[in-house]
Structure 1
Amino acid sequence: MQKFMDKMENVLAPLATKVGGNRILKAVSTAFNMIMPLIIIGAIFSLVSTLSIGGYQAFLQSSGIGKILALVGKFTTDLMALYVAFAAGYAYVRNEGMNNDAIPSGLLSVLAFFIMTPLTEVMINEVPTTVLSFDYLGSKGLFTALLVGLLVGFIYTFVTKKGWVIKMPDGVPPTVAKSFSALIPGFVITGIFLVINGIFNALTGATFSEWLYSVLAAPLSALSGSVITFLVLLFICQVFWFFGIHGGQVTIPFMMILFMQAGVENQAAFGTGQPMQNIVTVGFLYFLMLGGAGNTMGLALDMLLFSKSKRYKSLGKLCILPSICNINEPVIFGMPIILNPVMAIPFLLVPQITAIITYFAMNLGLVSLPRIALGATGTPLILDGWMIAGLSGIILEVILIALTAIIYYPFFRVQDHMACQEEGISE
C-alpha cells in the first residue's frame, strides 16, 4: 500500500505543479477571484430585491426603490463578461511579473472585447441609432471575454518583452512614460482584433462573439451542464488533496470555465424574477464543500462529540470553528487525512454521494437551484446555504452535514481507537 501511495504521489505532484503553474489556467483563476466581489455584491442585491416578506415587494414597487436596487444586478451580473475581459488581460500580464503593465493590458482587453461584440441598429424617434446591447456583455459573452483577455495578455507580454515599445527619455514622469510604452502593443492588439472580427464578419456574417457562442460556447455549455463532468472534476480534486496537493488549485480553473456561465445565467434570471434553469453551477459546489474539501464538517462534529482519545478531543475543539467557515486544513493535516488509507474511502466518496443527493433534490424541485454564481470563501455554514438556495438550502445543508457525520463515523472510530491504544486509554 505504501509503495502504491508513494508512486501515486510521485505521479500527481509534478502534474499538479505543471497544471498549477500553467499561465493560462493561473490567469483564469486569478481573473475570477478578482471579480468575486462584484459577483457577490450583485447576488446580495438580487436577494434583497426579491425577498418576499409581507408587503415588502409592494413597497419596493410603489416607492421606486425596486428599480434602483435592480441597477446593481444590471451593472454587475449583466456586465460580467466585460469585467472578466479586463481581469483576464490584467491577470495574465501581472502573473508574468509585469505589474506596471497589468492595467494597460486590462484596458486593451476591454477595447478588444468591444471590437468583438455585436452592435445593434435600432430606430429611436425615427432616427437610425447604433446601440450596444447587454446580450453579449453578460453570460453569453463570458467565453469571448476569457479568450480575448488571455490573448491580449499574451500579445502584450510578447510585444513588450521583444522591446517593441516607445521609450521616453529619463525625467519623464512614470505615468506618462508608461502611457507611451503601451502605444505600440495597443496598436498591434487593436489591429489584430479588427482583422479577426473582420474575417468572421466576412465569412460568417456575424461578429466573433456571436460565432463563438453559437459554434463553440453552446456545446461547451452543454458539457458544463453534465453532472458527470462535475463529479469527475470533484473526484480529481479529492485525489490530489489526499496526496497532500491542493486539489482546488488544479480543478477550480476548469470548473470556472465550464460552470461559471451557468451560474451567471441563474443569478441574472433570479434578479429579474425569471425561472432559473441550471443545476450544476459553481454555486452548486458549495453544498459539496461543507467544512471544506471532502465535506468534512460531519467529521469535525464526530471528533467534537464522540472522541475518546485526547488527541481527537483536542483536534475536534480546534477544528470546529474553522470548519464552520469551510476551512478544513486542521482536519486534513491534523487527523491526518493525507495518505491515510483508513480515511481515504469516506474522503473520496462523501463528496460524490452529497453531489448526487444535491443534484436529485434540485432536479425534483425539493431544493431551489443555485441563485448566485459564486459564493464568498469563508462564509459560515447555514448562511452560505441561504445565500445559494434560500430556506431549502439551509435544510439541505443540515441534512447533508448529519449524513456525512454518519458516513464518516465508523472510519473515525477506527482512527480514534488506534489513538486510544497509543495513549493507553481504555475505551
Structure 2
Amino acid sequence: MNNFIDKLSDKLVPVASKLGQNKYLLVLRDAFMLAFPITMFGSLVVVINNLPFFSEELQGTLGTLFGNGQNATMSIMSIFVTFGIGYYLSKTYDIDPAFGGAVSLAAYLILTPFEMITEGGEAVTGVLTLDRLGAKGMFVGMVAAFLAAEVYARITKKGITITMPEGVPEAVARSFAAMIPAIITLGIFTLLNALVIGLLNANLHDLVYDTIQEPLTGLGSGLPATLIAVFFVQLLWFFGLHGQIIVNSVMDPIWNTTMLDNLAAYETGKPLPHIVTKPFMEMYTVGMGGSGSTLIVVILIAFFMKSRQFNDVGRLALAPGIFNVNEPVIFGMPIVLNAAIFIPWLIAPLITTAFNYIVMNIGLFPIPTGVSVPWTVPVFANGMLATNSLMGGVLQLIDMAIIGVIWYPFLKIVDRQNLKNQAPDMSKA
C-alpha cells in the first residue's frame, strides 16, 4: 500500500502543483471570489424573501419590495466575473488593472444583444435582460474577458500607448495611456460581433449557449463528472495539496452556472433544472466539517476512541470542524499521507455524493435552490438554508451517519495501534 501511494505521489503531485499555479485558473478563481460577497448578499435577500413559513402573498410582497437586492447582485453575476478576470489578468502583466477590468467588461457587453423578445414575439431594442448577464451569459463573458484582457495587455506591453508629459495629473495620464489599447481591443470585439450578426443572423450569446455552454453544463453537472471531481479533491488533499482550490478552479464555471439556473427557476416557481450546483458541492461535501465531511470523524476520535492521541486531536479539531475548518484533523491526525485511512478518506465522500444525487433525483429530498450559503455555516443549518427545507439538513445527518459507519472500523484499527505505541509512555509515567 505504501509503495502504491509513493508511486502515485510521484506522478500526481507535480501535475497538480502545475495546475494549481496556472495563471489563468488562478485569475478565474480570484474573479469568482471578487463576486462572492456581492452574490452572498443576493443569496441572503432570496433566503429572507422566501422563508418557508411565510405565506405566498407575503413572499410576493417581499419580492416586489426587496427583489432588486437579488437582481443587482446574483442575477448579473457575469458582470462582476468578467470585470474580475480583466482586473486580475492585467495585474499579472503589471499594467493598470482597473482599465483592464473595464475593457474586459466592455468587450463582453459589446457581444451582448441589447434586445428583448416579448411574449407576443415583438422585439424591444435598447434593453439588457438579466439572463444575458447571469447564467446564460457566463461562458461568453469568461471567454470574452480573457481574450480582451490578453489583447489589451499585449498592446500595452508593446508600448503602443500615448505618453503624456510630466505635470499632467496621474489619472489623466493613465487614461490616455489606456486609450489606444482599449480602442484596438474593443474595435476587434465590435468587428467580431458585426460578423456574427451579418453572416449568421444570430448573436454570439445564443450561438455559444446552444452549441457549447448548455451541453458542457449538462455533462459537467452529471453524476459521473461530479464523482470524478470529488475523487480528485480527496486524492489531492491526501497528498497535502488543497484539492478544493485546484478542482474548483476548473469546475466552478459550470457549478456557478447551474446555481444561477436553479435560482432563476426557483424565483419563478419552476422545477429546479440541476441537482449538482455550487451549493450542492459545498453543503454536501464541505459543509459537514470541511473537505471530506470530517465532522463525524472528529466526533468519533474525540469521544469514541481510546487512544490519547486521537482524543486530543479530536477535541482540538471539534470547534473548527463545526464551522467546516478541518485542517487541524487533516494535518493533526494526520490524514495526509496516512495509508491506514486512505480508503475511507477517498470513498466516503464518493458514496455520499452518489447517494445524495440519487435521493434528490427521485424526489425523496429537496434540491438546493441556488441560494449561496457561506461555507462556514454549521451543518444542518447550511443544508436547510441551501434547500429552503428542513429535509436538507436531515439529509446531511444521514450522510454523517453513512460516513461514520465507513470510517469506524479503520479508526478502530489505528486507535489500537496508537494504544500500543502509547503503552510504554504510560508505564514510564
Out of 69, 81, 89, the residue aligned to residue 72 of structure 1 is 69
Q: Secondary structure of 2:402's match?
A: helix
Out of 345, 351, 357, the residue aligned to residue 347 of structure 1 is 345
Matching residue's letter, 1:174: E
Matching residue's letter, 1:44: L
Q: How far did residue 352 of structure 1 move?
A: 0.5
1:5 maps to which residue? 5
1:206 maps to which residue? 202
Given the alignment of the two structures, is residue 88 of structure 1 paired with residue 85 of structure 2, yes or no? yes
1:243 maps to which residue? 239
* Pair 7,168 (structure 1): closer, same or farther in 2 beyond 3 Å: farther
Q: How far did residue 412 of structure 1 move?
A: 0.9
Q: Deviations over 1:84-137 (max 9, x none)?
A: 21122112223x053x621111111121111101122779xx997532222311
Rounded Cα–Cα distance in structure 1 between residues aligned with 2:42 and 2:367: 17
Question: Which consecutive residues of structure 2, in runs of 5 or more, have no partner in the other structure?
Answer: none
2:22 maps to which residue? 22
Question: Which consecutive residues of structure 1, in runs of 5 or more, have no partner in the other structure?
Answer: none
Counting only pairs closer than 5 Å after superposition, residues 220-299 of structure 1 correspond to structure 2 as: 220-286=216-282, 287-289=284-286, 290-299=288-297
* Pair 128,147 (structure 1): closer, same or farther in 2 beyond 3 Å: closer
Q: Secondary structure of 1:237's match?
A: helix
Q: How far did residue 3 of structure 1 move?
A: 3.6
Q: Deviations over 1:394-425 (max 9, x none)?
A: 11111111221221111111111111111108
Question: Do 1:293 and 1:328's aligned partners in 2 also have CA atoms closer than 8 Å?
Answer: yes
Out of 364, 383, 386, the residue aligned to residue 385 of structure 1 is 383
Q: Deviations over 1:347-368 (max 9, x none)?
A: 0000100101110121121221
Question: Do 1:276 and 1:371's aligned partners in 2 also have CA atoms closer than 8 Å?
Answer: yes
Given the alignment of the two structures, is residue 407 of structure 1 paired with residue 406 of structure 2, yes or no? yes
TM-score normalized by the length of structure 2 = 0.92
Out of 95, 99, 102, the residue aligned to residue 104 of structure 1 is 99
Question: Do 1:43 and 1:267's aligned partners in 2 also have CA atoms closer than 8 Å?
Answer: no
Question: Do 1:301 and 1:405's aligned partners in 2 also have CA atoms closer than 8 Å?
Answer: no
Rounded Cα–Cα distance in structure 2 between residues aligned with 1:122 and 1:29: 34
Rounded Cα–Cα distance in structure 2 between residues aligned with 1:203 and 1:280: 37
Question: Do 1:51 and 1:57's aligned partners in 2 also have CA atoms closer than 8 Å?
Answer: no
Given the alignment of the two structures, is residue 317 of structure 1 paired with residue 315 of structure 2, yes or no? yes
Rounded Cα–Cα distance in structure 2 between residues aligned with 1:372 and 1:252: 17
Rounded Cα–Cα distance in structure 1 between residues aligned with 2:124 and 2:289: 56
- Per mean C-alpha deviation after superposition, the further-off stretch among 399-408 and 329-338 is 399-408
* Pair 328,118 (structure 1): closer, same or farther in 2 beyond 3 Å: same
Rounded Cα–Cα distance in structure 1 between residues aligned with 2:99 and 2:134: 22
Q: How far did residue 223 of structure 1 move?
A: 0.9
Rounded Cα–Cα distance in structure 2 between residues aligned with 1:303 and 1:239: 22
Q: Secondary structure of 1:278's match?
A: coil
Aligned residues between the structures: 419
Question: Do 2:262 and 2:272's aligned partners in 1 also have CA atoms closer than 8 Å?
Answer: yes
Q: Deviations over 1:13-72 (max 9, x none)?
A: 221121112122111111111111122211211111112325x543455xx443022111
Question: Do 1:196 and 1:208's aligned partners in 2 also have CA atoms closer than 8 Å?
Answer: no
Q: How far did residue 295 of structure 1 move?
A: 1.6
Question: Do 2:49 and 2:63's aligned partners in 1 also have CA atoms closer than 8 Å?
Answer: yes
Question: Do 2:115 and 2:124's aligned partners in 1 also have CA atoms closer than 8 Å?
Answer: no
Question: Do 1:288 and 1:294's aligned partners in 2 also have CA atoms closer than 8 Å?
Answer: yes
Q: How far did residue 234 of structure 1 move?
A: 1.1
Matching residue's letter, 1:280: V
- Per mean C-alpha deviation after superposition, the further-off stretch among 279-288 and 164-173 is 164-173
1:34 maps to which residue? 34
Q: How far did residue 331 of structure 1 move?
A: 0.9
1:119 maps to which residue? 114
Q: How far did residue 288 of structure 1 move?
A: 1.7
Q: How far did residue 320 of structure 1 move?
A: 0.8
Q: CA RMSD in A?
A: 2.1
